[in-house]
Amino acid sequence: MFDYDLFVIGAGSGGVRAARISASHGAKVALAEEYRVGGTCVIRGCVPKKMLSYGAHFAEDLSEAESFGWDVEKPVFNWGRLRDLVQTDIDRLEGLYGNTLSNNDVTLIEQRAIVSGPNEVTLANGDTISAKIILICTGGWPVPASCEGAEHAISSNEIFHLEEQPKRLLVVGGGYIANEFAGIFHAFGSDVTIANRSDTLLRSYDQEIVERLIEISTAKHMKLRMNAPLEKIEKLADGSLKVSFGDGGDPDIFDIVLVATGRVPNSNGLGLEELGVEMSANGAIKVDEYNQTSVPSIYAVGDVTDRVQLTPVAIREGHAFADSVFGSNPRTISYDNIASAVFSSPPIASVGMTEAAARDKYGDGVNIYRSDFRPMKNVVSGRMERGLYKMVTAGDNEQVVGLHLIGPESAEIIQGAAVAVKAGLTKADFDDTVALHPSMAEELVLLK
Ligand code: NDP
């Protein structure tokens, strides 16, 4: 009766997973993508960012190499070379994602598609295709600046393709993207300023941990301009950008202005309002716990639903959708205790409640344990940076309801500990676990 059982719009993490698993359950699947297979995470997000972050780490390692017996000639960083190497690897990954689709008999349609009926999509070339189920996985899009001269700023989409490394970089915003790129370009040798509209960075993270990041960043001469909303960007004759802020301070001159002030659901112009699909004010598609919209044949997963804007969440939602709709296994996913990390320098990692959130919920029943330590590698190299691990417990049995880390490799360390928090383990369970020595992770079972 229909051309396809499932038509997926958007080949990002959620869409590719949903298409592949639905096909493996026997569904006839097509997927439309207007840009590149892989979506934000693979093409212009997590993956290339992590590669740049690896590149940035060499700055520290090379500067400390002498303390570990190595003589290294004055190292020189070549932005163009790293940029091109990263893009070559992204091409490779895009190919692998394409192979995954074809190996699973998913028909890839490299065009924009919009929804033109409860069971119909229309492609950019005017063709219409019918499908029993339509799944929207169009992700999110950076919020552009709204000040005068905003057209001179770039977003995280463009930062991976810069012709030249900026000597002076302004990063606007205080969230994930701002802190990650500030750390990366500072390590490459750029003069980096972060300007944030409020006095709070990384609002959803434990603020004691964020304070430590601020201390370390300012000690490294990264500039932080708080309560400094962007007012105006002017392009000067030499191509540099003169930026005015609403903090009463002087304007400053930069080569690149990166705006990282959040991402909104990418649902505009998809034909959804016309069909009566319910959406939030910011364009998020409203779905139930089974990812179904208010129009029963239309589903949505990932950032376009604005639940938790993280790749592994989109992947889980896509997988659960496929199992529920085509695998005779209706299931939902749990949004509790999702571990997350900011790949700042040093990285921050977290799972569960911040101290403030726990105190709101449990009042006096909260206890805090900390380890404030200097990683062994920093002691040997003479680097003064200290790590900080913090545990939040609640109730008489001291269940661990939050873990918050800043320090080298903290993103690698939190994942294992997140299993313990998810399982509802207690401070006594952590204390009963013998330390693995010497490591930074051992601080988790030595908290006082
Ligand atoms: P975030 O939501 O992390 O942070 C947005 C920042 O911009 C906040 O500091 C916010 O301030 C500020 N802001 C919001 N609106 C305005 C405005 N109108 N003017 C000025 N400042 C404003 O957004 P990002 O863009 O950094 O990242 C988007 C999402 O992408 C993240 O939420 C995350 O889910 C995902 N991501 C995840 C990564 C990871 O897992 N490592 C890495 C990169 C992105 P305030 O706090 O005052 O609202």
Which tens digits make up the pLDDT trace of 220-275? Answer: 999 999 999 999 999 999 999 999 999 999 999 999 999 999 999 999 999 999 99
Q: Which of 261, 282, 303 to mutate to test ligand 1, by most ligand atoms within 8 A of the CB atom?
A: 261
Q: CB-side exposure of 340: number of CA atoms within 13 Å? A: 19
Expressed in angstroms and rounded, the spacing between residue 118 Cα and the centre of ligand 1 is: 33
Reference 258, options 237, 230, 226; nearest CA is 230
* 379 Cβ contact partners less than 8 Å away, ≥ 6 residues apart: none
Cα(7)–Cα(300) distance, rounded to whole angstroms? 11
State residue 46's pLDDT score.
98
3-class SS at 6?
Answer: strand
Expressed in angstroms and rounded, the spacing between residue 154 Cα and the centre of ligand 1 is: 15
Q: Confidence class of residue 358 from pLDDT cuts 50, 70 and 90? A: very high
Q: Whose CA is nearest to atom 15 of ligand 1?
A: 261
Report the chain's mean pLDDT, rounded to a whole number. 98
Q: Whose CA is nearest to atom 14 of ligand 1?
A: 261
Tell me what the mean pLDDT of segment 68-84 comes to: 97
Ligand 1: residues whose CB is within 6 Å?
Answer: 173-178, 180, 196-198, 200, 203, 229, 260-263, 309-310, 340-343
* 428 Cβ contact partners less than 8 Å away, ≥ 6 residues apart: 397, 398
pTM of the model: 0.97
Ligand 1, closest atom to CA 201?
9
State residue 194's pLDDT score.
98
Single-letter amino acid code for the residue at 384? M
The residues pairing with 369 across neighbouring beta strands, listed in sequence order, are: 391
Assess whether 437 carries a catalytic annotation: yes
Ligand 1, closest atom to CA 229?
20
Expressed in angstroms and rounded, the spacing between residue 142 Cα and the centre of ligand 1 is: 9
Q: Confidence class of residue 352 from pLDDT cuts 50, 70 and 90? A: very high
Q: Whose CA is nearest to atom 24 of ligand 1?
A: 262
Ligand 1, closest atom to CA 341?
41
Q: Confidence class of residue 413 from pLDDT cuts 50, 70 and 90? A: very high
Q: Which two tokens stand for residue 343?
A: 């790949």
Q: pLDDT of 130-175, one tens digit each?
A: 999 999 999 999 999 999 999 999 999 999 999 999 999 999 999 9
Question: What angle (nearest 5°) sits at the alpha carbon of residue 206, between those of residues 222 and 64?
Answer: 40
For the chain, the farthest-separated pair of C-alpha atoms sits apart, in whole angstroms, at 71
Q: pLDDT of 22-68, one tens digit each?
A: 999 999 999 999 999 999 999 999 999 999 999 999 999 999 999 99
Reference 378, options 147, 49, 60; nearest CA is 60
